[in-house]
Structure 1
Amino acid sequence: MSFKEIKEKTKKGIFSVIRCKDYDLGMKMAEKVIECGINIIEITYTVEGAGKLIKELKKKYPDKIVGAGTVLELSQAEEAVGNGADFVVTPCIVEEVASYCKKNDVFFSMAAATTTEMFKAYKMGSEVIKLFPGEFVDSKIIKSLKGPFPFLEFMPTGGVNDENINEWFENGAYAVGVGGYLTKGINFDNLDLLEERAKRLVNAVK
């Protein structure tokens, strides 16, 4: 799908950030959150075999939106997209990744923590700014930023949970990224806890 199509499909969406080391655990986590109704899966490049995992998930769930996160190198972006990734997310501004995604019509979101970084990311083609780390700012920051930057969209990531997700959306979040709330402490023995968290998150959204 094109940049525009993915951007439209992810509006008001929950990016489920799958962060772990083990490939098989990453697969189980992704499957569990999909079963719970979360349709956007972000496989971070901290997962061993992240590119392969993206490919397998797209094959198994062709109607879901699957992409790559924690992308710091051009080679990672190229591998992810080559394996069917619908989007690319970076934890900072990575110019070569931005150029590649823009050239290839791939939706991407780069992280920024200052207004200078936000504007720079936007000028490079990142129309949705990853507001990171989100746990250190108040959700009202989006309304404040929309004053001088009405053309920017924001995806807070970090600190988003079932208790504050609606506050983020009410204050103008385009989408949210949820990682630690879902996957912290999860292993093969307590996937039911991940399921419980995912269901609470989905049910919390108005």
Structure 2
Amino acid sequence: MTKRFALAAALSAAALFAWPAWACSPVPMPPPQPGESEQAYKARIAREQRRQAEQWLRDRQADALQRADSIFIARDTAWASPHRPPPVRRTRAGRPIPPPPVPRVRYEYPAPSYFKPIGWLRGSRPRALFRINRSMTTCGTMSIGDTAYSHPGSLYVFFARKGPLSEKTLIDAIAVDRIDDPALVAFVARHRGKPPT
């Protein structure tokens, strides 16, 4: 019985990491069925977790498709603010005034991600680089949709409401290779499985 309790606890922990939206809520595991072996119990729980994850992804896509005014693909892009030296100022006598000290570099942890739109399906066609912040919480790194652990080159389908593109208007972001909704499959087909560039 102790082994089954340990297995249930391990599967509950695995479930926490399987679905970021539920990361802070323990997912209760059903008890083993009478006479069910440890291996059969583990296989049954794994099947149920896969089924729930697939349903959750279908629901996310359907909800985002219904709510979004704008749908586009964007690539995670490495970017840093360019350093611009201040203009040289001079006194009335023509002597240069020393520039102010260079401000200290501010580091953000976790660092934000920057995305460049590369394909459009619906709505406005944003082309400018946009930023998404990530937050470190007691549940781990959090961000919009699947972008919490994004890295340069990763591709996402973004869903947004009307208005200037920002975290306030973004509804969701789903990794291109996870898209399986029939309304989106053809749109993402040419980007699917591409290695990061």
Is TM more than 0.5 here? no
TM-score by length of 2: 0.22
Larger Rg: 2
Instruction: Indicate the structure with greater helix content.
Output: 1
TM-score by length of 1: 0.21
